[in-house]
Chain A
Amino acid sequence: MSEPSSTPHSPRPVQRAQVPPANVRLGPNTLVTGELSFKRFLSNEPDALVIGSHCTMDGVHFALGEKGRVQIGNYCYFTNAVLLCELEMRIGNYVVIGWNATIADTDFHPLKPAERIADAIACSPLGQGRPRPEIPKRPVTIEDDVWIGPNATLLKGVRIGTGAFIEAGSLVTRDVPAHARIMGNPAQVIGEVR
C-alpha cells in the first residue's frame, strides 16, 4: 500500500490508508482512505470486495450488506462515493466517481405497506432476529471509462455503458447507452461524448 500523503497546510496525512477486512482484496498501488471506509462493511462473502491495481478510493463508504459483493477494475478514482450494496456491483476500468455520489443495488425496504410494517419490526430491537421480507435488489454494472459526477445517484439494476458521462446531480434509474452524456432527474440523454 502507498505511503500516506499530505498537503502543505495539513499536518495530518489527508489520505491515510485504511486496513481493510480480511475478505477484501486490493491490487498493487491501490489506496483506500477515509475513517468511514469500512464502518458499514458487513459482508460475509469470500472476496466480498475486490479492487484492481492503481485505484484511488478516497473517503469511499463501502457499505456492503452480509451478501454484498463489489468488483472494481484498474485505475479507478472515487472521491467520497457511497456504495450501498446488498447484492452485486461490477465496476470496470478507468471509472471516475465524484464527491458524494451514491450507488445502490437495493430498494432497502419493500414497497407494499404491510410488508414495510413487517420490515420495520424485523429491523427494530423488538424483531429478535425475525427474518426481513423479500426486498427488491438488482445488480449494478458500470462499464469502462464511465464518469459519474458529484452528488449523482444510481439506483438498482442500472447498467452504465462504456464511456458514458453522468452529469453532477443526476438521478439514474434506467440503463445508459455507451458514450451517452446524461443529466437530470430522472436522467435523460443530452448528448454524446467520445
Chain B
Amino acid sequence: MNPDRTLPWDWYPGRIPENVAVDDMAYVETTYSFCFFRSQLPRGVEIGPGASTYLGTMFDVGPHGRVKLGKCALVHGARIICDSEIIIGDYALLSWNVVLMDTYRVSFNVVERRKELERVPTRQPRLAEADVPARPVRIERNVWIGFDSCVLPGVTIGEGSVVGARSVVAEDVPPYAVVAGNPARVIRRLENG
C-alpha cells in the first residue's frame, strides 16, 4: 500500500479506508471493493497475512459492521453484507458471486419496510440501513465455498467443510462436511487430515 493508502496496481482511483487494516503480506486487488464500506468502528475490516481479495469482492459494511479475513483467506469475489460481524477463517476459499449476509437490511414487517424504503432515496449514497437485528456469520478455517452460494444471517460453517456451488446455507454446517443444494444439506463427511 502507498503512504496515501492507494494501491499502486489499482485501476480504481480510491483509497483503503483508515479503519481498514491490511497486513503487509495481504493482497487487495482494488479499492473499488470499499465503495460501499461505511463502518465507523476503529477496525471495520481486518485483512490478515497472506489473505487476498479480488475484483468483485464488495465490503458492503454498515456503520457497526466488522469483517475479519484470516491468514491466507482467498476471497475471489464475495458480496459481504455486514451490519454486525462476519469472520472468514484462516485458509478459507471463497469463490465468485458468493453472498455472505448477516442482515436483511430491511424489516420483515411490511409497515416498517415501507418506512425504510421511503428513507432510502433521501440518503447519499442511496442505501437501506434499517436498524434490524443482525446475526453474525462465521466461516471457520479451511472452509471452501463454491460460486454463487449464499450464506444467510446467523450461520456458522464449521472447520474444513465444503459448500457446493449455488448452495444456499440457511443452517449451521458441522465441521468437515460437504454440503450442497438449496437449502444446503450434508451430502458427505470428510476425514480430518
Show the binding face of A for B, using Cβ within 8 Å.
Answer: 2-3, 5-12, 14-15, 29, 31, 54-56, 58, 75-77, 94, 96, 99-100, 145, 147, 149-151, 163, 165, 167-171, 183-185, 193-194
Contact = CB atoms under 8 A, between A and B. Distances in A.
Given A5-B126, A9-B14, A163-B110, A75 B150 contact: no
Contacts of B113: 94, 96, 145, 147
B149 A169 contact: yes
List of 6 A-B pairs having minimum Cβ-Cβ separation, nearest first: A169-B168, A185-B182, A5-B125, A168-B150, A5-B124, A169-B150
Contacts of A14: 35-36, 125
A5 B120 CA distance: 13
B38 interface: yes
A3 B121 CA distance: 11
A151 B13 CA distance: 28
A149 B182 CA distance: 14
Given A168-B168, A194-B110, A15 B125 contact: yes
B79 A150 contact: yes
A54 B106 CA distance: 17
Contacts of B168: 167-170, 183-185
Contacts of B104: 147, 149
13 contacts: A8-B17, A9-B34, A10-B32, A14-B35, A96-B106, A96-B128, A100-B99, A145-B114, A151-B97, A169-B150, A170-B182, A185-B182, A193-B108
Contacts of A163: 110
Contacts of A169: 99, 148-150, 166-168, 182
B101 interface: yes
Contact of B35 (A9, A168, A184): A9
The secondary structure that dominates the A interface is: loop
B78 to A, nearest CB: 11
Contacts of B133: none
A2 B114 CA distance: 21
A7 B125 contact: yes
Contacts of B186: none
A70 to B, nearest CB: 19
B31 interface: yes
B181 interface: yes
Interface in B66-97: 79, 81, 97
B114 A94 contact: yes
A170 B152 CA distance: 12
Contact of B170 (A8, A96, A167): A167
B118 interface: yes
A97 to B, nearest CB: 12
Contacts of B36: 7, 14
B121 A9 contact: no
Interface in B98-117: 99, 101, 104, 106, 108-110, 113-114, 117
A184 B185 CA distance: 11
B135 interface: no
A183 B183 contact: yes
Given A11-B13, A151-B97, A184-B182, A165 B108 contact: yes
B124 to A, nearest CB: 4
A55 B118 CA distance: 9
A44 B152 CA distance: 40
